[in-house]
Structure 1
Amino acid sequence: MNWTLEVVLVPATDLDRAKDFYGTKCGFTVDLDTEVAPGLRIIQLTPPGSRCSITLQSGMPGAPGEKLMTPGSLHGLQLCVTDIEAAREQLVSRGVEVSPVQHVGEKGWEEGKGETWNSFMFFKDPDGNGWTVQEAPSELSER
Structure 2
Amino acid sequence: MDIKLELVAVPVTDVDRAKAFYERVGFHADHDVTVSEDIRFVQLTPPGSACSIALGKGLTRMAPGSLDNMQVVVTDIEEAYEDLRGRGIEVTEIQDMPWGSFVYFSDPDGNGWAVQQTTPRTAPAEG
**Global fold match (TM > 0.5):** yes
Residue identity opposite 1:8 in structure 2:
V
Equivalent residue for 1:8? 8
Provide the C-alpha distance between the structure 1 equivalents of 2:112 and 2:34, rounded to a whole number of angstroms: 27
Measure how far apart 1:118 and its partner are: 1.6
Residue identity opposite 1:13 in structure 2:
T
- Identity among equivalent positions (%) equals 54
Offset from partner CA, 1:2-31 (integer Å, 9 cap, x none): 1110000000000000000001x2100000
Equivalent residue for 2:35? 36
Offset from partner CA, 1:106-143 (integer Å, 9 cap, x none): xxxxxxxxx6x420110000000000010035xxxxxx
Provide the C-alpha distance between the structure 1 equivalents of 2:37 and 2:79, rounded to a whole number of angstroms: 42
Provide structure 1 residue ranges, at least 5 long, that are not aligned to the other structure: 63-67, 105-114, 138-143
TM-score by length of 2: 0.88
Summarize the alignment of residues 91-130 of structure 1 with structure 2, pairs less than 5 Å apart. Answer: 91-104=84-97, 117-130=99-112
Provide the C-alpha distance between the structure 1 equivalents of 2:15 and 2:95, rounded to a whole number of angstroms: 31
Offset from partner CA, 1:72-110 (integer Å, 9 cap, x none): 110010000001111111110111000000023xxxxxx
Partner SS state of residue 32, structure 1: strand
Summarize the alignment of residues 59-70 of structure 1 with structure 2, pairs less than 5 Å apart. Answer: 59-60=58-59, 62=60, 68-70=61-63
- Find runs of 4+ consecutive structure 1 residues off by over 4 angstroms: none
Summarize the alignment of residues 7-86 of structure 1 with structure 2, pairs less than 5 Å apart. Answer: 7-23=7-23, 25-60=24-59, 62=60, 68-86=61-79
Measure how far apart 1:39 and its partner are: 2.8
TM-score by length of 1: 0.79
Measure how far apart 1:38 and its partner are: 2.6
Provide the C-alpha distance between the structure 1 equivalents of 2:10 and 2:105, rounded to a whole number of angstroms: 14
Provide structure 2 residue ranges, at least 5 long, that are not aligned to the other structure: 120-127
Measure how far apart 1:48 and its partner are: 0.6
Provide the C-alpha distance between the structure 1 equivalents of 2:63 and 2:81, rounded to a whole number of angstroms: 27
Residue identity opposite 1:132 in structure 2:
A
The root-mean-square deviation of aligned C-alpha atoms, in Å, is: 1.3
Partner SS state of residue 100, structure 2: coil
Residue identity opposite 1:99 in structure 2:
T
Partner SS state of residue 119, structure 1: strand
Provide the C-alpha distance between the structure 1 equivalents of 2:36 and 2:80, rounded to a whole number of angstroms: 37
Q: How many residues align?
A: 119
Provide the C-alpha distance between the structure 2 equivalents of 1:43 and 1:128, rounded to a whole number of angstroms: 18
Equivalent residue for 1:108? none
